[in-house]
């Protein structure tokens, strides 16, 4: 399935993002970002609040379009793709974990995990796969519960199961533990790294926690809209 010549899960060249302001001025959030992230590695992005971490993540995942430069996701340049084409590229290959979980409120834990499988339609028994994913995050007894019936930590576990259920090549996480207490955070972090390794996914993790960032193979910091590699 995967072309062997692809070495990088993500590559960017001179990536920049400008925001058009009301008074005809523009604000440059990110500029001249060039990076290469090998398949299977883990990358942390840190930076001050408002430095553009989330913006970069959105660009890398093809949720947003760059003002300048290009992003290659899994070898595919996204500059000429429209929104649906970029979505198709993510389908089954990219997973997300968010700070505020973003489970579908009207779906049970299991149904939330089923969602990416149903969208991708490549797994023969999605139900079984979803149950297994739920078991991996230790919530098999909460399959029918709705998100409102789960605690924050539990919701994030479901979100992790949902993100990893179709063995994504790239997983984006934006402050995945930002809304959780210390102990729960540690659990979730360990689970995240474990699932990443099990699935051999590339992890792009945005965090403000330097200790967490140091657990990743590569650690980038955004300073003045540009990328600085930490030791």
Partner 1 sequence: MNLLKIWRQAWRIDEMRLLFLALLVSVTAVTSVNFFTDRTERSMTQQATKLLGADLIVRSSRPLSEDYLSQAKQLGLQQAEIISFRSVVSVGDSLQLSDVKAVSDTFPLRGNVETSSLLDGRSEVDSLSNLKSGQVWAAPTLFSSLEIPPNTEVRIGRSLFNLNKVLVKSPNQGANVFQFSPEVLMPLADLPATGLLTPGSRARFSYLFSGTDAQVKNMTDWLKPQLKTGERLETLDDGLPSVGTALQRAQRFLNTAALLSVILAGAAIALTSYSFSRHETHSVAVLKTMGASRRRILVRYLSQLLLTSTAAAILGAILGYFIQNGIAYMLRDVIGTDLPAPSLVPLITGLLTAWIMVFSFSSPQLLQLVNTAPVQIFQNQPQPRSNRWKLLLLTIMSGIFALMWMQTQDLKLSAFLFLGTLGAILVFWAVSTLLLSQLKKLSRNRKYSARALSSAGNRLVLLVVVFGIGLFSLLLLTALRGDLLDRWQNSIPDDAPNNFLINIQPDEVSKLRAYLNENKIDPDLYPMIRGRLVAMNDKPVVIDDFESPRARRLLQREFNLSSVEAFPEANILLEGEWFKPEDNQGFSVEEGVMERFSLVLGDTMTFDIGGVQFTQTITSVRRVNWDNLTPNFFVLGAPGSMENLPQTWITSIYAPPENRSLVPDLIKQHPSVSAINISAIMTQIKDLIGKAAFAVQAIFAFTLIAGIVVLFAALQSQKAERRKELAILKTIGASRKQLRQSILTEFVVVGAVSGFLAGLFAVLASNIAAYALFDLEPSINLMLILIGTVAGAVLVGIAGYLNLRPLLNVAPAVLFQEHAE
Binding site for partner 1 (CB under 8 A): 54, 57-58, 61, 63-64, 83-84, 87-94, 96, 98, 100-107, 111, 115-116, 119-120, 146-148, 152, 155, 174
Contact flag: residue 49 with ligand ATP (CB under 6 A)? yes
The binder of 51, among Mg ion, ligand ATP, partner 1, none, by C-beta within 5 to 8 A per type, is ligand ATP
Q: Nearer Cβ to ligand ATP, position 49 or 148?
A: 49
Rounded Cα gap, residues 120 and 136, in angstroms: 21
Q: Nearer Cβ to partner 1, position 75 or 215?
A: 75
Beta carbon of residue 53, minimum distance to ligand ATP (angstroms, whole number): 4
Q: Which residue is nearest to ligand ATP (CB)?
A: 54
52 CB neighbour count, 10 Å cutoff: 24
Hey, is 33 helix, strand or coil? strand
Beta carbon of residue 164, minimum distance to partner 1 (angstroms, whole number): 12
DSSP conformation letters of 114-130: HHHHHHH---S-HHHHH
DSSP conformation letters of 169-226: SEEEEESTTTTS-HHHHHHHHHHHHHHHHHHT-EEEEE-S-HHHHHTSSEEEEEETTE
Rounded Cα gap, residues 28 and 212, in angstroms: 28
Contact flag: residue 202 with Mg ion (CB under 5 A)? no
Contact flag: residue 51 with Mg ion (CB under 5 A)? no
Specify the length of the chain in residues. Answer: 231
Contact flag: residue 50 with ligand ATP (CB under 6 A)? yes
Radius of gyration of the chain (CA): 18
Contact flag: residue 199 with Mg ion (CB under 5 A)? no
Beta carbon of residue 33, minimum distance to partner 1 (angstroms, whole number): 17
With CB under 6 A as the contact rule, the residue among 16, 52, 95, 176 that binds ligand ATP is: 52
Closest CA to 142 of 97, 115, 112: 112
Q: Which residues bind ligand ATP (CB under 6 A)?
A: 19, 29, 47, 49-55, 208
């Amino acid at each position: 399935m995967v072309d062997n010549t692809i070495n990088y899960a993500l590559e960017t060249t001179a990536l920049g993002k400008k925001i058009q302001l009301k008074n005809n001025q523009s604000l440059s959030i990110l500029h001249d970002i060039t990076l290469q992230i090998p398949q299977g590695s883990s990358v942390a992005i840190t930076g001050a609040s408002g430095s553009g971490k989330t913006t970069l993540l959105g660009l890398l995942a093809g949720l947003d379009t760059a003002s300048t430069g290009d992003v290659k996701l899994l070898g595919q340049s996204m500059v000429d793709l429209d929104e649906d084409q970029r979505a198709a590229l993510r389908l089954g290959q990219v997973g997300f974990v968010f700070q505020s979980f973003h489970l579908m409120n009207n779906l049970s834990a299991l149904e939330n995990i089923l969602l990416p499988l149903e969208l991708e339609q490549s797994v023969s028994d999605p139900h079984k796969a979803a149950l297994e994913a739920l078991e991996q995050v230790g919530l098999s007894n909460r399959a029918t519960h709705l998100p409102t019936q789960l605690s924050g930590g539990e919701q994030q576990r479901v979100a992790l199961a949902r993100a990893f259920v179709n063995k994504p090549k790239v997983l984006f996480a934006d402050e995945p533990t930002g809304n959780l207490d210390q102990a729960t955070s540690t659990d979730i972090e360990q689970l995240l790294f474990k699932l990443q390794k099990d699935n051999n996914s590339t992890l792009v993790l945005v965090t403000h926690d330097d200790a967490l960032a140091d657990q990743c193979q590569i650690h980038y910091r955004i300073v003045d809209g540009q990328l600085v590699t930490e030791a």
